[in-house]
Chain A
Amino acid sequence: MLSALRLALAIAAKDIRAELRSKTALLSALVFAALVLVVFNFARDPTILSPADLAPSVLWVTFALAAMLALNRAFTIERENAALDGLLLAPVPREALFLGKLVANLAFVGTVELVTLPLFTLFFGVSLWEVLPGIIAVTALATIGFVAVGTIFSAMAVRTRFAELMLPVLLLPFMVPPLIGAVQVTSRLLAGRPLSEMLGWLRLLALYDIVFVTLCTLAFAAVVDE
């Protein structure tokens, strides 16, 4: 069990190091997120919709889109380098392989989210400082959910003909419960509502994570094995 975990972390570290070396994907995702925020800002009329009303939805749509870019990239690079095939030949337990990929993807998406948050504060004039722990918690919970499903789907999509289209088509329905929960919690956090109003949604997010991380870990073998 412990060796499997260590293996997963080693796989994750390898992916993260590879990404840090090239940096291009990370930078593109960040620029993309910034652009989305800018577009949303100009797309709304400030006299009709206050920033606070729209802010949570904008934030999460941005995160969702950036996450899909990141997930696509992750496996495309693998496919180009045939790196995955090498890994698969080794007697690596598929669960560890999945968890490693998950951690690497989380690191990537998490970085994009971390950098996007200050931009968000700046463009939308909302203050996150007082509720920062809550924001970080809900971001972590929701992101784990859709990145888990995204990791297994991108492994599949990369083997299909229309990989770039296939991933969103498959993934978007699965992103909805985490996104709804995240937007609901975020908007309540920003409005200074008490924790009791968010508990139902937080439980939904946590349950989603538990169910889908487990399921995707177990199902990964069916996807990558011949």
Chain B
Amino acid sequence: MTGSSVSLEGARRIVRRGLGLSAVGVAGLAGVYLLALNFTPVEARQGLAQKIFYVHVPAAWSALLAFSLVGIASMLYLWLQDPRLDRFAAASAEVGVAFSGVMLTTGPIWARPIWGTWWTWDARLTLTLFLFFLFVGYLALRAAVHDPVERARFSAVVGILGMLLVPFIHLSVYLFRTLHPQPIVLKPSAPSLPPEMLRTLLISTAVFTLIYLGFVTARYGLALAEEIREEGRDAG
């Protein structure tokens, strides 16, 4: 049961909406690039590479958002048993992989000129690495379970456990870091940003959130469409 009275055409509409939304978002990304390159000051000590910050941080935010929503949807699913929640969680997990990918590639590319090393076990990178592994495990589990209800339940358990793991990873990194402070080649961006930098960062975060929403909507619609098609095949 798809758990909703949506037709195939309705599902396709959801997909189109999602694709449209994310296309606007991706176009917005080009705008962010322009903004970051031409209308935002260059940080004197870190140089141009500092501007990676404007995609790296919003990507981290999107990945974390995706992950939190998987966890919340999982909890709600175990409580309400609504398959729409399960479908949403799965969509959010797949989109989360994409954003984690951005994080895990831009992270080292940023770290190399700034910190002098490709990888650093700092809180943000380590956490994203774990989110990536958790997403992948979640999706692998889904691929390996046949029965949709069992798949939904198992995924929900992993989603909730994963969500609770995150604070422990954070705590571990924090405890580790206070004993092993990282060698710093160049100091990363100070917490108090000049207004133009803050503005670019906020706009970029909004764009990334828009892309996330568009992707999740489209992915959700695709899954729904596939389920409806399968039901039609089984019934027909």
CA distance A222 to B78 in the complex (A): 8
* CB within 8 Å for A176 and B145 given contacts A215-B161, A222-B78: no
13 A-B residue pairs with Cβ-Cβ distance under 8 Å, sorted by A, are A152-B161, A156-B154, A159-B154, A160-B145, A166-B141, A177-B171, A204-B168, A204-B172, A207-B168, A208-B168, A215-B160, A215-B164, A223-B154
Among the listed B78, B137, B154, which residue makes an inter-chain contact with A173, where contact means beta carbons less than 8 Å apart?
B137
Min CB gap B64→A, angstroms: 15
Let me know if A21 is at the binding interface, CB within 8 A: no
Task: Identify A212's interface contact among B154, B161, B176, CB under 8 A.
Answer: B161
Interface residues on B, range: 20 to 34
Best-buried of A156, A161, A184 by chain B (most CB within 10 Å): A156
Instruction: From the candidates A161, A200, A219, name the one contacting B160 in the complex (CB within 8 A).
Output: A219
Binary interface encoding of chain A residues 206-220 relative to chain B, with 1 for a CB under 8 A from any of its CBs, else 0: 011001100110010
B169 at interface by CB-CB < 8 Å: yes
Does the CB pair A200–B175 fall under 8 Å? yes
Per-position binary interface string of chain B over residues 124-151, scored 1 when its CB falls under 8 Å from any chain A CB and 0 otherwise: 0000001001101100110011000010
Decide if B130 touches A176 in the complex (CB within 8 Å): yes
The answer to whether A223 touches B165, judged by C-beta atoms less than 8 angstroms apart, is no
> Quick one: which of B137, B141, B157, B176 contacts A222, CB cutoff 8 A?
B157
Query: Known: A159-B150, A173-B133, A223-B153. Is A166-B164 also a contact (CB below 8 A)?
Result: no
Q: Tell me the nearest residue of chain B to A178, going by C-beta.
A: B168
Question: Cβ of A9 < 8 Å from any Cβ of B?
Answer: no
**C-alpha gap A208/B164 in the complex (Å):** 10
Q: How far is the CA of A95 from the CA of B140 in the complex (A)?
A: 27
Q: Is A123 an interface residue (CB 8 A)?
A: no
Whether a CB of chain B sits under 8 angstroms from the CB of A172 is yes
Closest 8 CB pairs of A and B: A160-B144, A177-B168, A161-B144, A170-B137, A173-B133, A219-B157, A177-B172, A180-B172
Whether the Cβ atoms of A222 and B172 lie closer than 8 Å is no
A149/B133 contact (C-beta < 8 A), A162-B144, A180-B172 known:
no
Contacts of B26 in A (CB 8 A): none
* Distance between Cα atoms of A162 and B140 in the complex (Å): 10
How far is the CB of B177 from the nearest CB of chain A, in Å? 12
Residue contact A172 to B133, C-beta cutoff 8 Å: yes
A32 near B: Cβ within 8 Å? no
Q: How far is the CB of A144 from chain B (nearest CB, A)?
A: 14
Check B160 against A160 for contact (C-beta < 8 Å): no
Which residue, of B140, B157, B175, B176, has the highest number of chain A Cβ atoms within 10 A? B157
Shortest C-beta distance, A173 to chain B (Å), equals 5
How far is it, in angstroms, between the C-alpha of A161 and the C-alpha of B147 when the chains are bound?
12
- Contact (Cβ within 8 A) A177 B137: no
**A: which residues have CB within 8 A of B?**
149, 152-153, 156, 159-162, 166, 169-170, 172-174, 176-177, 180-181, 184, 200-201, 204, 207-208, 211-212, 215-216, 219, 222-223
Query: Complex Cα distance A9/B61, Å?
Result: 45
> Is B156's beta carbon under 8 Å from chain A?
yes
Is B35 part of the binding interface, using a Cβ–Cβ cutoff of 8 Å?
Answer: no
Whether B158 is near chain A, meaning CB under 8 Å from some CB there, is: yes
Contact A177–B169 (Cβ < 8 Å): yes
- Interface pair A169/B154, CB less than 8 Å apart: no
Q: How far is the CA of A223 from the CA of B156 in the complex (A)?
A: 10
CA distance A212 to B165 in the complex (A): 9
**Contact partners of A223 in chain B: CB under 8 A:** 153-154, 157
Contacts of A176 in B (CB 8 A): 130, 169, 172
Add 12 more A-B contacts to A162-B144, A173-B134, A223-B157 (CB < 8 A). A153-B158, A156-B141, A159-B145, A169-B136, A173-B137, A177-B165, A181-B172, A200-B175, A215-B160, A216-B161, A219-B161, A223-B153
Contact, CB under 8 Å: B164 / A211: yes
A173 to B158, CA, bound (A): 11
Residues of A within 8 A of B156 (CB): 222
A177 nearest CB neighbor, chain B only: B168
B148 to chain A, nearest CB (A): 13
Contact in complex: A201, B145 (CB < 8 Å) = no
By the criterion CB–CB under 8 Å, are B137 and A169 in contact?
yes
